[in-house]
A and B are shown apart, each in its own frame.
Chain A
Amino acid sequence: MKKTTLFDIISPIMIGPSSSHTAGAVRLGLLARHIYKETPKSVKFTLYNSYAHTGKGHGTEKGLLAGILGLDVDDRRIKDIFNSDLAKNIEYSFKYTDNIKRHPNAVDIEIDGKTKMFLSGDSVGAGEVAIRKINDFSVKLTGRYNNLILVYKDKPGMISKVTYLLQREGINIAYLNCDRNAKGQKASMVIEIDGDLQSAVETVILHMPDVYFVTYVKKLEN
């Protein structure tokens, strides 16, 4: 966990009314957008538990959609996003449900466009969020660091190949998390890094054999 700083106490500058239900929702949407890399054609949100029950009064739906459309937590357009021009070219829907196994402020995000993507995440408090799942893989993406995400064929040596590449670029790894659905099938790697990654490295990794998917997700500014 990153330590709370002076800055955290006197920020963020945000659209109200709730850091977890409004700002957190915007950040979840925004992280999803950064992972997907473009504006989707359509998006289906499923809101769980407290998000489902008190979301409307807190503008949670507006926040999620605004985030997917690329707005930041302090953007005044969030309030009227449903009527905004930005939202004209995207289909969106919301479902509400209870599930005690899920976090009180959880959301699933099903994106469709160039490709399909399924994401789920939680708003864990004070505006902090975590994306927990991308398609079938468990991840933990908080938006606090720059992240490199990979999906690849599960086989020996992949981790060292990738970390070697990063080392060559002088990049320090803050945190590394792997997951796989079954031995020898697909595996995922989420690497939190200090510093910035040149897009060339992303391309190199994408062209490595047995890499199916790579995306670089920059940390959230606000």
Chain B
Amino acid sequence: MDTFEQLYNYCISNNKTIFEASQENMAQEADISVEEVRNFVQKSLCAMKEAISSGIKSKELSMSGMCGDDCFKIQQYYKKQHSMFGDLFEKIIEYALATSEENIRMGKIVACPTAGSCGIVPSTLLAVSEKFNYSNSEQINALITAGEIGRIISIKVALAGAVAGCQAECGVASAMSAAAICQLQGGSVKQILNASALALKNILGLTCDPVAGLVEVPCVKRNPFLAIHSITAAELSVANVESKIPLDEVVDAMSQTGALMSPMLKESSQAGLATTKTGLDIANNIFNKK
């Protein structure tokens, strides 16, 4: 299945969910059983949990010293003052920061779909699952659903900041996350694809301009932002708020936008945040320190 339309038609005519279609397809492709597919996904899920539990305890900075203690700060704050949006919101922010900070301090994470965007899918998937007691098997279903969204997008657009900007990394992660949440909430095939369309549509054009060429600024903080972004998409979708542009066409638009984006804004750190006065100062400091 190469497009979301094909996936949708297949699911509807065979009365299957997205994760069922996806795990069967993967099993066939790799010549393994569905159970083995789910075991693989289980491993990624466990590694995501591990990354959160070690990330949440650490405030070690990255090698550059730019990031690493934001998760600590927000936890300290929430100890004194709870978020006005409730404990689920707090958890999502914390988990997303915990994971992406684990990444930049050379901890162990799951690239999902990429290392720079590794905090988005786990933060929502696990925070929501804990809050509403979704079972391990339901979590696997949600992660497969997210993966299938990423897989079909990647057929048209390489999921790499250097190719299509951050819309193709954190943007795609938020589309995957929206689908996962929708799956957990029992959304229909249509609602799941629509949730991804809403999330992706709203983030088109996001550039990749990391300071000093490192996956830290703006990447780390972009993870909690886009995790929350994906929740908005999932909520709208289960309420049947429809994306006027279907997901396949949003992906086409993303691909075109990525192609039109200047190479200076695609991971080369030649423009944008990377070349602001402060961005350049930081880069100089890092390189002089060496």
Q: Is the CB of A22 within 8 A of B108?
A: no
**In angstroms, how far is the closest chain A Cβ from the Cβ of B156?**
11
- Is A54 touching B44 in the complex (CB atoms < 8 A)? no
Question: Is the beta-carbon distance between B110 and A17 smaller than 8 angstroms?
Answer: no
**Is the pair A6, B144 in contact by a Cβ cutoff of 8 Å?**
yes
Cβ distance B57 to chain A, nearest Cβ, rounded Å: 15
Minimal Cβ-Cβ distance residue in B for A125: B160
Taken residue by residue from 203 to 224, chain B's Cβ proximity to chain A (1 for < 8 Å, 0 otherwise) reads as 0000000001111100000000
B22 at the interface (CB under 8 A from A): yes
The complex places the Cα of A5 from the Cα of B25 at a distance, in Å, of 9
Report yes or no: A5 in contact with B26, Cβ–Cβ below 8 A.
Answer: yes
A140 at the interface (CB under 8 A from B): no
Is B64 an interface residue when CB atoms closer than 8 A count as contact?
yes
Chain B residues near A3 (CB-CB < 8 A): 29
Tell me whether B286 is interfacial, beta carbon within 8 Å. yes
Interface locus among B84-92, B111-119, B129-137, B240-248: B111-119
Q: Do the beta carbons of A57 and B150 come within 8 Å of each other?
A: no
B23, B41, B103: the one contacting A17 at CB < 8 Å is B103
Q: B110 contacts which chain A residues (CB < 8 A)?
A: 10-14
In this complex, the interface size class of chain A, counting residues with CB under 8 Å from chain B, is 20 to 34
- Kindly provide the distance from the CB of A200 to the nearest chain B CB, expressed in whole angstroms: 26
**What B residues does A5 contact at CB under 8 A?**
26, 29-30, 151
- Residue of A13, A14, A78 touching B43 (CB-CB under 8 A): A13
CB atoms of A22 and B111 under 8 A apart: no
- Asked if A116 CB lies within 8 Å of chain B CBs, one says no
Inter-chain contacts of B290 with A (CB < 8 A): 56
| C-alpha spacing A79/B103, complex, angstroms | 11
The verdict on B163 contacting chain A, using a C-beta distance below 8 Å, is yes
Q: What is the interface size of chain B, counting residues whose CB is below 8 A from a CB of the partner? A: 54
User: Are B115's CB and A10's CB within 8 A?
Assistant: no
Interface residues of B in 41-92 (CB under 8 A from A): 41, 43-44, 47, 62-64
Whether A6 pairs with B148 at a CB distance below 8 angstroms is yes
CB distance from B146 to the nearest CB of A (A): 7
Within 8 A of B (CB), among A61-96: 62, 74, 76, 78-79
Which residues 100-150 in B have Cβ within 8 Å of A in the complex? 102-116, 118, 121, 143-144, 146-148, 150
Give Cα distance in the complex from A56 to B64, angstroms: 9
Q: Is the CB of B104 within 8 A of A4?
A: no
The interface residues of chain B lying within 8 Å CB-to-CB of A54 are 212-214
> A6, B22: Cβ atoms under 8 Å?
yes
CA distance A58 to B158 in the complex (A): 21
Find out whether the CB atom of A10 lies under 8 angstroms from the CB atom of B112: yes
A13-B108, A16-B102 in contact; A59/B63 too (CB < 8 A)?
Answer: yes
- CB pair B47 A57 closer than 8 Å: no
- Nearest CB of chain B from residue A14's CB, rounded to whole Å: 6
| Closest beta carbon of chain A to B207's beta carbon, Å | 17
In contact, A57 and B64 (Cβ under 8 angstroms) = yes
**Known contacts being A5-B30, A5-B151, A9-B151, is A56 close to B115, with CB within 8 Å?**
no
A19 at the A/B interface (Cβ < 8 Å)? yes
A50 interface residue, CB < 8 Å from B?
yes
Please name all residues of chain A whose beta carbon is closer than 8 Å to the beta carbon of B286 when the two chains form the complex.
57
Q: Does B154 belong to the interface (CB within 8 Å)? A: yes
Instruction: Confirm or deny: A127 has a beta carbon within 8 angstroms of a beta carbon on chain B.
Output: yes
Cα separation A151 to B103 with both chains bound (whole Å): 41
- Chain B residues with Cβ below 8 Å from A11 are 40, 44, 110-112
Do B111 and A57 touch (CB < 8 A)?
Answer: no
Q: Does A15 contact B (CB under 8 A)?
A: yes
- Please determine whether A10 and B106 come into contact, CB atoms closer than 8 angstroms: no
Contact indicator B43/A17 (Cβ below 8 Å) = no
**Footprint of B on A, CB under 8 Å?**
3-19, 22-23, 50, 53-54, 56-59, 62, 74, 76, 78-79, 125-127
- List 17 A-B pairs, Cβ < 8 Å: A3-B29, A7-B30, A9-B147, A10-B41, A13-B43, A16-B103, A16-B108, A17-B103, A17-B105, A18-B215, A50-B213, A54-B212, A58-B214, A59-B63, A62-B106, A126-B114, A127-B111
Q: 6 tightest CB-CB pairs across the interface, nearest first?
A: A16-B103, A54-B213, A9-B150, A79-B106, A57-B214, A13-B47
14 additional contacts, CB 8 Å, given A9-B147, A16-B109, A59-B63? Answer: A3-B29, A9-B159, A10-B147, A11-B44, A11-B112, A13-B110, A18-B115, A22-B106, A56-B63, A57-B62, A58-B214, A59-B106, A78-B106, A79-B106
Residues of B within 8 A of A (CB): 22-23, 25-26, 29-30, 37, 40-41, 43-44, 47, 62-64, 102-116, 118, 121, 143-144, 146-148, 150-151, 154-155, 158-160, 162-163, 176, 212-216, 286, 290
